[in-house]
Amino acid sequence: MRLGHEEWTLDHLVQAAAGKLQVDASSPALQARLELGASALRRRWDETGVIYGVTTGYGDSCSVGIPAYLVAELPGQLVSFHGCGLGEPFSREETRAILAARLASVSRGWSAVRPELVNLLAELINRDILPRIPREGSVGASGDLTPLSYVAAVLCARRQVWTADGSGFEPASDALARAGLSPLVLQPKEGLALMNGTSVMTALAALALRRAEAICGATCAATALAIEAIRGNPGHHSERLMSAKPHPGLARAAGAIRAHLGSALVCGENRLQDRYSLRCAPHVVGVLLDALPHLESMLVIELNSANDNPLIDPDDGQLLHGGHFYGGHVAYVADSLKSQLAGIADLLDRQMALLTDRHASHGLPANLSGAEGERAPINHGLKAVSIATTAWCAEAARLTLPASILSRSTECHNQDKVSMGTIAARDALRIAELCSQNAAACLLASAQGVEIRQRRGQLAPCALSDRGQKAFAAVRRHAAFLGEDRELEDELRSLSSAVLAGEWPLEPQ
């Protein structure tokens, strides 16, 4: 990707997170624009002698003047006192996304950073030199100060980075030296430009959104297999029925379910109406599908924004004070994703209960046990998995409280209204993980139900289409039929990872 010539998309960010995007910061136009911004800051400083965060303290300390002989030390001090993050570090994937999001912002030219800073930040991405960033400590305004201080520190050869094999951490100075990269001495405003922004929350919310799309596809596949397993009524998802309530996401979800079931939409043995977890699955998934384009558009705008403070117009040198570090839009995206994903986790939990309950599954064995003969009494099938599915659903539901309504006044009441966007985005990622586990469990259970019918010679009333057969085969690549009870942890982990990787897409790829 050539910086300065392309707008960032969420696909760019996801590719960067996967380590599959190289960024090129060598454009003469980009370098010139960055130099314009940095020069404008220097001119403004020469003219006025007072610039927030350059010759003053930060936040509530903005009234504290910095003596000229200490100005050069101020950016390093900002990095130092924000080195208080706690909690587990962000994963390497999450960290790559964070670096890309910050690069997208500071390379727009409004942050008054030198070309050297943008070049080195791009090299961290290209060479996979990933800061160790603790995940706790941001209220989402004034930006992601504490977590982004770990990015700024690594540019200065301070703190730690992930080792190349991802097994631990090493000093940033060692990694930069091995790569032949010279660390920075941050110039006035550069510490603030790196840290005072929404890049952590934006990166995490983008990853959560992409995972939400993949979960929708897996949910529709699992629903179709469940309909087959319990001899359900595919007519609930007919195109004619969907046309009477023309929400695009509803139609898209029903179409995906229908495509797995094939064209036979009238069955002689089906019930008049299935339970809601099957009949109304498109109405649950469809809400999220309709929300995703709107949510993505907000994230793309945030990703392509200058979101620190103050900003310097590189064209005319005007100094602009504001609050673009505020993560309200990202918090809205993340909190919206949280509630919709938790709803899907609940849908999947109910489908799991339907499949494993012998009173509701229309002839399937209790807990979908595949054991027969004299050993059948000691086998319990997916009993424990159904319990775990409920636990994952409950945890997802607990995390849906909107973080954005939990603003706390902080920093001597200077930051008296904050977005909590980073906490919201972290929660959205966690709920996506929990939801993928529920999808994995339902894929496992519905495939088990289908195969039990097949082994018994019971032809399902509505044969799966070729696509449905492929969905079933994809489950079997990760988990075999459950005859004798066995430990299923590894298979569930593999299925969950496959869900997030989009192995059951909404539309054929």
Active site residues per annotation: 52
Residue 162 β-bridge partners: 169
Separation between Cα atoms, residue 296 and residue 340, nearest integer Å: 15
> How many other CB atoms are found less than 10 A from the CB of residue 412?
10
Look up tokens 């505020």; give the residue.
326
Separation between Cα atoms, residue 442 and residue 219, nearest integer Å: 8
Q: How far is CA 136 from CA 47, 51, 82, 313, in A?
A: 40, 30, 12, 33
Q: Which two tokens stand for residue 307?
A: 């979101």
| Rg of the chain taking only CA atoms, in angstroms | 26
Residue 24 β-bridge partners: 2
> How many other CB atoms are found less than 10 A from the CB of residue 255?
17
Separation between Cα atoms, residue 61 and residue 253, nearest integer Å: 53
* Cα–chain center distance at 81: 29
Please report how many Cα atoms fall inside a 13 Å half-sphere around the Cα of residue 499, on the Cβ side: 29
Q: Which two tokens stand for residue 77?
A: 């001090």
Q: Which two tokens stand for residue 97?
A: 């996304």
Residue 170 β-bridge partners: 161
Closest CA to 199 of 161, 154, 156, 146: 146
What is the C-alpha end-to-end distance of the chain, expressed in Å?
24
Query: Would residue 331 be called left, alpha or beta, if left means φ above 0 and alpha means ψ between -120 and 50 degrees?
Result: alpha
Query: What is the greatest pairwise CA distance in the chain?
Result: 91
- Sequence letter at residue 150: Y
Are residues 336 and 207 in contact, defined by beta-carbon separation less than 8 angstroms?
no
Please report how many Cα atoms fall inside a 13 Å half-sphere around the Cα of residue 284, on the Cβ side: 25
Kindly tell me the sign of the dihedral angle through the C-alpha atoms of 38, 40, 41, 45. positive
Are residues 444 and 479 in contact, defined by beta-carbon separation less than 8 angstroms?
yes
Are residues 253 and 289 in contact, defined by beta-carbon separation less than 8 angstroms?
yes
Across 167-195, b (16+ Cβ under 10 Å) vs e yields: eebeebbebbeeeebebbebbbbbbbbbb
> How many other CB atoms are found less than 10 A from the CB of residue 414?
13
- Sequence letter at residue 349: D
98, containing H or E segment: helix 92-106
